[in-house]
Structure 1
Amino acid sequence: MMSDTEYHRPLGIGESAFEGLEEHLEDRSYEGREYRHVPDYRRGIERGTVLIDREVVRGFPKVPRALVLETGIPTQFEDRVVVEEKLNGYNVRVVCLEGERLAFTRSGMVCPFTTRIIERLVDLEALFDDHPGAMVCGEMIGPENPYTAHDYPEVDSLAFRAFDWRDRQSGEPLAVEARRERYDRYGVPQTRLFGSYDVDEAADEVLRIVEDLEAENREGVVMRSPDATTLLKYTTSASTRSDLAYAFSLPFDYGQPFMFRRLLREGFRTIEVDGSDDIARKRAHELGEAILLSMREAIDTVGDGGTVGERHTVRASSETVEALLEHLRKQGLTLEIESDRREDGDRVLTFCKRVQSSNDKIENYLEGHVVTE
């Protein structure tokens, strides 16, 4: 057990650096357990790193993005490149502390919904019995999802897919082959493995894989070195259009950097992928529709007296649903319950996270307020 002043040791920083980090930590509690977490990257410490019960739970590292595969892959990898699917959901890290399994969000908060529902989705008891220091990293996917809902044909409600295995305290990853073998042994479902490729052929293979994923409206790929210490991601145009459509459906709640980064991806993709001006124009047309039609629908909704916001449906026990609602409201979110029913012993709730800025500004502009530029 360590004192607060000794947290710097497992974090790999000096005492003075930890003192500087402390002022940026956020205090939280979960069912009587006090903990602190790093909400943003600070002093080389991963976002989402948690200090709890005198233990350190490392955050998941940033994954850089390739804009041009042909040149980007060789700058990151030396030999082989392992390609796995990147799924569109929300990132969770599951650990076992003093016999209790806890699920942390990307920013380091205990999610009461995921902590409870994970028991239904995957059996981790034997895994943690054998590997108590493991950090199970995965994606929660499916249409009944309280944070990032996306349809997958193979998922009716909500599912868990592991994509990494790390040491809880050090954050060191397990090599890809060992990780996949180990998860298979414990019956834990994983993200899809496409293959391992020589670095010189990887760009062509990834473009081929991404083309197939594009046709299925899926998100993209994560590339890893065999030892899993180097990561790189690349996403489909379908994913970018979906992101932009979502952002412009709430046009005053997502900042310019969010939009520009995604437009930048498509700009470089027109050079690497599009073989003609006609293909590039088709891409531009699809992007324009994603942006403009989503914003048009938002303005129309508010003009008709409706509300724009993030709509989600969840399916769980009543206690789990109530824990989620309390968790979201504690974060200052305004929730509107749109439907609440019982089905096969579960509570099925649809709610809207009201986004004040877009609702208010659209309404003001429709009433004649002018824009100062």
Structure 2
Amino acid sequence: MDDTEYHRALGIGASAFEALEDHLERHTHEDVEYRHVPDYRRGIERGTALIEGEVVRGFPKVPRTLVLETGIPTQFDGPVAVEEKLNGYNVRIVRLEGEQLAFTRSGMVCPFTTRILGRLVDLEALFDDHPEAMVCGEMIGPENPYTAHDYPDVDSLAFRAFDWRDRQTGDPLDVADRRERYERYGVPQTRLFGEYTLENAASEVERIIETLDADGREGVVMRSSDATTLLKYTTPSSTRDDLAYAFSLPFDYGQAFMFRRLLREGFRTVECDEDDAARERAHELGEAILLSMREAIQTVDEGGSVGERHTVRASYETVEVLLEHLRDQGLTLEVEADRREDGDRVLTFRKRVQSSNDKIENYLEGHIVTE
């Protein structure tokens, strides 16, 4: 497929594709050049990739509700399937020319995930039977190069499928068929809590959220039975974790990131009719923000540096490919530990964030804040 045909596969006109081309980013994977859409453009999903004449659709943006009681009936007009939202990094897996490739949310081929995928899940039979499938899932666990989070049943890194779409059109498989197929092929999935009537959905989701919150888990994704309508809602503990993380790198996350999360908690205190509990929630949020920032300032004051710490476990070559991939994106990496364990290379590294380190150091040295 050449550029004159890509627009047909994407369902847009030739002139629209020409305008889109200016915004495509170019990368290579093992000497194969591809292009991808880094953000939403002209109705094309972020992460859509064009590679060797094939289209790999991006995953649609999932809206969020701040109020369950009114938000759910605004989005849905029938039964609502509720599944767990996991805290990891989003990948879409397709098979092209016999090779399974893992694409990140932004549309880049992740060489680490592509290489390590085979030890986590066997998708060969699935792609043999459904060559146009796009397997959508979350990579979770503590040994994770992008978003590390502990789960009791995951020691290192694991894959959990949460959607199944057509690679070229992006059309989803309905919830029941998708779950049946993944079960048939032995592919681990995110947890399904149930399918609820529209009248009962809000109260059921609130009950589920309370349980997930107590366990420190992220939240839920709600879907219509045909999976064409999606909606998400996250737990207070997830919001606190996000804020603690953001303020541990206080000059590298914008005000919009912080405000959106505070907004979620503000609306939740009203929907849940909190009074004394709202004060406790405010106390917990304040600690997440202030103590994380204090620790970052102390670290720099004592001569250290702040950044995102990750541990990965894979073959020596796979770890090297990951480090090269991250450095190619302009990241500065500091290796903290590098060892061999059961035939694998186990590497702990820090992604150094320049802005927070530099600004904290400058302010500690007496530089003036201009407001």
**Interval containing the TM-score (normalised by the shorter chain):** over 0.9
1:1-373 aligned at under 5 Å gives the runs: 2-273=1-272, 275-373=273-371
Following the alignment from structure 2 to structure 1, what is the Cα–Cα distance between the partners of residues 242 and 188?
26
Following the alignment from structure 1 to structure 2, what is the Cα–Cα distance between the partners of residues 128 and 231?
25
3-state SS in 2 of match to 1:7: helix
Following the alignment from structure 2 to structure 1, what is the Cα–Cα distance between the partners of residues 275 and 175?
40
- Unaligned stretches of 5+ in structure 2? none
Following the alignment from structure 1 to structure 2, what is the Cα–Cα distance between the partners of residues 58 and 11?
9
Following the alignment from structure 1 to structure 2, what is the Cα–Cα distance between the partners of residues 56 and 224?
25
- Give 1:276 deviation, angstroms: 3.5
- Give 1:341 deviation, angstroms: 0.1
Following the alignment from structure 1 to structure 2, what is the Cα–Cα distance between the partners of residues 12 and 261?
33
What CA deviation, in whole Å up to 9, does each residue of 1:338-368 have, x standing for no partner? Answer: 0000000000000000000000000000000
- Give 1:277 deviation, angstroms: 1.8
Superposition CA RMSD, Å: 0.5
| TM norm structure 1 | 0.99
Following the alignment from structure 1 to structure 2, what is the Cα–Cα distance between the partners of residues 24 and 269?
38
Following the alignment from structure 1 to structure 2, what is the Cα–Cα distance between the partners of residues 23 and 244?
35
- Give 1:10 deviation, angstroms: 1.1
Number of residue pairs aligned between Structure 1 and Structure 2: 371
Following the alignment from structure 2 to structure 1, what is the Cα–Cα distance between the partners of residues 256 and 205?
26
What CA deviation, in whole Å up to 9, does each residue of 1:68-101 have, x standing for no partner? Answer: 0000000110010000000000000000001000
Query: What residue identity is the alignment partner of 2:14?
Result: E
What CA deviation, in whole Å up to 9, does each residue of 1:214-250 have, x standing for no partner? Answer: 0000000000000000000000000000000000000
Spell out structure 1 runs of 4+ moving beyond 3 A: none
Following the alignment from structure 1 to structure 2, what is the Cα–Cα distance between the partners of residues 144 and 16?
45
Query: What residue identity is the alignment partner of 2:320?
Result: E
3-state SS in 2 of match to 1:329: helix
- Give 1:3 deviation, angstroms: 1.4
3-state SS in 2 of match to 1:214: helix
- Over the matched positions of the two proteins, sequence identity in percent amounts to 82
Query: What residue identity is the alignment partner of 1:55?
Result: E
Following the alignment from structure 1 to structure 2, what is the Cα–Cα distance between the partners of residues 276 and 158?
38
Following the alignment from structure 1 to structure 2, what is the Cα–Cα distance between the partners of residues 80 and 291?
38
Following the alignment from structure 2 to structure 1, what is the Cα–Cα distance between the partners of residues 43 and 296?
40
Following the alignment from structure 1 to structure 2, what is the Cα–Cα distance between the partners of residues 264 and 44?
28
Following the alignment from structure 2 to structure 1, what is the Cα–Cα distance between the partners of residues 111 and 360?
34
Following the alignment from structure 1 to structure 2, what is the Cα–Cα distance between the partners of residues 335 and 61?
31
Query: What residue identity is the alignment partner of 1:175?
Result: D
- Unaligned stretches of 5+ in structure 1? none
